[in-house]
Chains A and B, each alone.
Chain A
Amino acid sequence: MLDLAESYALLNRSGKTQRDLLRGRTLINLFFEDSTRTRTSFELAGKRLGADVINMSVSTSSVNKGETLLDTAATLNAMNCDLLVVRHGDSGAPALLARKVDAAVINAGDGTHEHPTQALLDALTIRRRRGRLEGLTVAICGDVLHSRVARSNIFLLSAMGSRVRVIGPPTLMPAEVERLGVEVFHDMRAGLKDCDIVMMLRLQKERMTRGLIPSFREFFRFYGLDAEKLAFARPDALVMHPGPMNRGVEIASDVADDPIRSLIKEQVEMGVAVRMAVLDILARRNSRND
């Protein structure tokens, strides 16, 4: 999949498209949570492959009127769509939908469970820069407890041979996270030592209102990535963030915008390529017309 995505990255840079691949296919972006970035990325990926793309944001409409997730699924199923991209605030929601619809369902982030295409794009971004994933030390930092990005990256990067560390305050660390095969640190400086990749996570504002951390300024002081803390990582360590960033909360602007060490813009670019590869593979496998 990463190889295929790599070829799409090159195609995208060349300015060419491949609109015949998904011609006549319908892709629905079904977003129960707002996410401009991921939705746009899937939309662009679908369109570059020639699919008809429809965006549905249901966070404020049907679901609040008592329509259940499965009612929505039945409605969409009746519309005969081919690819269903789902973002939902609850863990397991896309898995539930997938059992009820004929379309191929793509998890675009579910609750605090997984965000598989984010992990794929992160892996692709790292591999392009470093030429490999095996043997690299990757630190995932911040709100690991609530992060689907963290979980998917732990699973994928570990499978690809990277050594994964998680760094954050104990109140934002899930129970028995070490059993996922990661090393746990609560001290940023110790955790970043000898790291090749520093992956920051977004801190949701409601975490503070629920009392898991006392204040943003305290979080930034101990767990925000700035030049001083980054200096503890390898001299050539690269910085990543799934976006959108809270500047001054989990990451300092000078680090986020560093043209040499920050991969954040490239992550966005690789996001489209990875999603093209995912749509390509699923559309070939799950063709209605065949």
Chain B
Amino acid sequence: MTDVVIENVRLIDPASGLDQPGALLVRDGRIADLGSGLGRPDGAAVIDGDGAVLCPGLVDMRAEVGEPGGEYRETIASAAVAAAAGGITSLAALPDTRPAIDDPALVRHLRARGEETGSLSILPYAAATKGCKGEELAELGLLREAGAVAFTDGARAIGSARMMRLILSYAKGFGARVVQHPEEPSLAEGGAATSGELATRLGLPAIHPAAEAIMVARDIRLLRMTGGMLHFAHVSTGEALDLIRAAKASGLDVTCDTAPPYFDLNETAIGNFRTYAKLSPPLRIEADRLAVAAALADGTIDAVASDHQPRDADDKRLPFAQAAPGGAGLATLLAVTLAQVHGGGLALSRAIGLLTCGPARLLGVGAGTLAKGAPADLCLFDPDAAWQVEAGALPGRAQNTPFDGRALEGRVIGTWKAGRKVFG
């Protein structure tokens, strides 16, 4: 393989604190050198970055990929196309598929399916309970051994306090993190929008925001009992973030992520029954959006995940309460996160950290950093290039973006997976 020099770039690697102009040398699919004053080895291909940012390939810690069982919505191959366009080179896939990822062979299968794409590492979550049904403990040890990065029942909350206690306790023995969809199921059942004036006006069945805080409070208390590692996915309310902030301060190993809709949109996006903005958890009020944005900056939130949930037209062209929740998020992950940077609330290196070394640390993988000798998973982007999101014109199969029409600044110019250019 020819050496490649990507020069005239701003190197940003939050894991090592690097933020400086320079160049990066790729040799044999790995990062051979980086920094300023780098030479050009004989015969090396040279790419002029024209001042753009070169950072680690993004690590998306939460996405549905449609396999197995939902291939009409998305396949790993189509998700890989969207991911490459979004600068994502590693992606943690949720296990509440059909069948659920509760068998070691399925974990190995998903990893292999990722390798087949040549552009995207699939980091499989495994089911915390058999079939993600919340009733019996899955074979956490065997699943971990097969390569599961963490345990979760995906979009299903682990509702039983007894079951959650068992999972946290048992997973601790294997050093694995447990990821919860924080929503008390009996309070959320049948709900389609966050509780309040808008849901009342539209006559939609509502979910009170306290359904999130109640689950977060319960699980933090359980963690105090069991020890271990607990992670809350797509946190959307200020109240839940306050609980997590306090738990972190008390020394518990509690972490959380959020997704771009929760800091970029509020409930008004559902407007006149716009089902593309129907998400789970539902979009919240403006005060919660601001609280999520603040928690990105203050360190309470450890990662930003795409929360990609591919849905097809038949899932969405339904009356609001019947429509499936979820939004496509791979291609917009970086740019919507950068909107927080352009808005002045978030430092660029912090934003990139939330998309690279932050999630990589939680998942216990080595990706997400520009280390010499590491695989050259790279993302080159122009933080100021403007574009407009258009449902129907997104890369990949899933087009159900809640950001349809949103003007954004920040565009991926090139993506490399193990030194091979996979986008741009």
Q: Which of A69, A91, A179 has the most CB of B within 10 A?
A: A91
Instruction: Give the docked Cα–Cα distance between A177 and B272 (Å).
Output: 19
Minimal Cβ-Cβ distance residue in A for B314: A68
- Whether the pair B321, A90 counts as a contact (CB closer than 8 A) is yes
> B202 near A: Cβ within 8 Å?
yes
Which of A93, A114, A174 has a CB less than 8 Å from the CB of B319?
A93
- Whether the pair A176, B200 counts as a contact (CB closer than 8 A) is yes
Could you tell me the distance in whole angstroms from the C-beta of B64 to the nearest C-beta in chain A? Answer: 22
Instruction: List the B side residues contacting A112 at CB < 8 Å.
Output: 203-205
Give residues 194-222 of B contacting A (CB, 8 Å): 195-197, 199-206, 208
- Whether the pair B197, A176 counts as a contact (CB closer than 8 A) is yes
Binding site of B, secondary structure by majority: helix, strand, loop or mixed?
loop
- Whether the pair A111, B203 counts as a contact (CB closer than 8 A) is yes
Instruction: Give the docked Cα–Cα distance between A99 and B97 (Å).
Output: 33
- Whether the pair B208, A175 counts as a contact (CB closer than 8 A) is yes
> B365 near A: Cβ within 8 Å?
no
> B170 near A: Cβ within 8 Å?
no
Instruction: List the B side residues contacting A176 at CB < 8 Å.
Output: 195-197, 200
> B388 near A: Cβ within 8 Å?
no
- Whether the pair A91, B204 counts as a contact (CB closer than 8 A) is yes
Instruction: List the A side residues contacting B322 at CB < 8 Å.
Output: 90
Instruction: List the A side residues contacting B125 at CB < 8 Å.
Output: none
> A213 near B: Cβ within 8 Å?
no
Contact A113:B203 (CB < 8 A) given known A95-B272, A96-B319, A180-B197? yes
4 further contact pairs, Cβ within 8 A, besides A91-B202, A110-B319 = A91-B204, A92-B272, A111-B321, A175-B208
Instruction: List the B side residues contacting A88 at CB < 8 Å.
Output: 319
A-B contacts, 19 of them at CB < 8 A, read: A68-B317, A70-B317, A90-B319, A90-B320, A90-B321, A90-B322, A91-B321, A92-B204, A92-B272, A92-B319, A95-B273, A96-B318, A151-B203, A175-B197, A175-B199, A176-B195, A180-B197, A180-B200, A180-B201
Give residues 254-274 of B contacting A (CB, 8 Å): 272-273
Could you tell me the distance in whole angstroms from the C-beta of A144 to the nearest C-beta in chain B? Answer: 9
Instruction: Give the docked Cα–Cα distance between A69 and B201 (Å).
Output: 23
> A148 near B: Cβ within 8 Å?
yes
Instruction: Give the docked Cα–Cα distance between A151 and B141 (Å).
Output: 54
Minimal Cβ-Cβ distance residue in A for B190: A210
Which of A96, A113, A179 has a CB less than 8 Å from the CB of B317?
A96
Instruction: List the A side residues contacting B317 at CB < 8 Å.
Output: 68, 70, 96
Give residues 272-296 of B contacting A (CB, 8 Å): 272-273
Give residues 142-183 of B contacting A (CB, 8 Å): none
B302-314 vs A: 1/0 string, CB under 8 Å? 0000000000001
- Whether the pair B319, A91 counts as a contact (CB closer than 8 A) is yes
Q: Which of A113, A148, A151, A177 has the most CB of B within 10 A?
A: A113
Instruction: List the A side residues contacting B196 at CB < 8 Å.
Output: 175-176
Which of B195, B202, B314, B318 has a CB less than 8 Å from the CB of A113?
B202
Instruction: Give the docked Cα–Cα distance between A110 and B202 (Å).
Output: 10
Minimal Cβ-Cβ distance residue in B for A112: B203
Give residues 332-367 of B contacting A (CB, 8 Å): none
- Whether the pair A175, B203 counts as a contact (CB closer than 8 A) is no
A86-103 vs B: 1/0 string, CB under 8 Å? 001011110110000000
- Whether the pair A175, B206 counts as a contact (CB closer than 8 A) is yes
Minimal Cβ-Cβ distance residue in A for B194: A175
- Whether the pair B272, A114 counts as a contact (CB closer than 8 A) is no
Instruction: Give the docked Cα–Cα distance between A31 and B350 (Å).
Output: 54
Instruction: List the A side residues contacting B195 at CB < 8 Å.
Output: 175-176
Instruction: List the B side residues contacting A114 at CB < 8 Å.
Output: 203
Give residues 140-179 of A contacting B (CB, 8 Å): 148, 151, 174-177, 179
Instruction: Give the docked Cα–Cα distance between A78 and B195 (Å).
Output: 39
Minimal Cβ-Cβ distance residue in B for A155: B201
- Whether the pair B199, A69 counts as a contact (CB closer than 8 A) is no
Instruction: Give the docked Cα–Cα distance between A45 and B203 (Å).
Output: 28
Leading 3 A-B pairs by shortest Cβ distance: A113-B203, A90-B319, A92-B273
- Whether the pair A148, B197 counts as a contact (CB closer than 8 A) is no
Instruction: List the A side residues contacting B200 at CB < 8 Å.
Output: 151, 174-177, 179-180
Instruction: Give the docked Cα–Cα distance between A90 and B204 (Å).
Output: 9
Instruction: List the B side residues contacting A70 at CB < 8 Å.
Output: 317
Could you tell me the distance in whole angstroms from the C-beta of A86 to the nearest C-beta in chain B? Answer: 11
Instruction: List the A side residues contacting B206 at CB < 8 Å.
Output: 174-175
- Whether the pair A91, B203 counts as a contact (CB closer than 8 A) is yes
Q: Which of B199, B201, B206, B321 has the most CB of A within 10 A?
A: B201
Instruction: Give the docked Cα–Cα distance between A177 and B200 (Å).
Output: 7
Instruction: List the B side residues contacting A175 at CB < 8 Å.
Output: 195-197, 199-200, 206, 208
Minimal Cβ-Cβ distance residue in A for B203: A113
Give residues 62-94 of B contacting A (CB, 8 Å): none
- Whether the pair A91, B320 counts as a contact (CB closer than 8 A) is yes
Minimal Cβ-Cβ distance residue in B for A147: B203
Which of B202, B203, B204, B319 has a CB less than 8 Å from the CB of A69?
B319
Instruction: Give the docked Cα–Cα distance between A111 and B206 (Å).
Output: 13
Contact A179:B197 (CB < 8 A) given known A91-B320, A111-B203, A114-B203? yes
Instruction: List the B side residues contacting A93 at CB < 8 Å.
Output: 319
Contact A91:B197 (CB < 8 A) given known A111-B203, A175-B208? no
Give residues 102-124 of A contacting B (CB, 8 Å): 110-114
Instruction: Give the docked Cα–Cα distance between A93 and B323 (Å).
Output: 11
Could you tell me the distance in whole angstroms from the C-beta of A149 to the nearest C-beta in chain B? Answer: 11
Contact A148:B314 (CB < 8 A) given known A90-B320, A91-B320, A91-B321? no
Could you tell me the distance in whole angstroms from the C-beta of B186 to the nearest C-beta in chain A? Answer: 11
Instruction: List the B side residues contacting A177 at CB < 8 Å.
Output: 200
- Whether the pair A96, B208 counts as a contact (CB closer than 8 A) is no
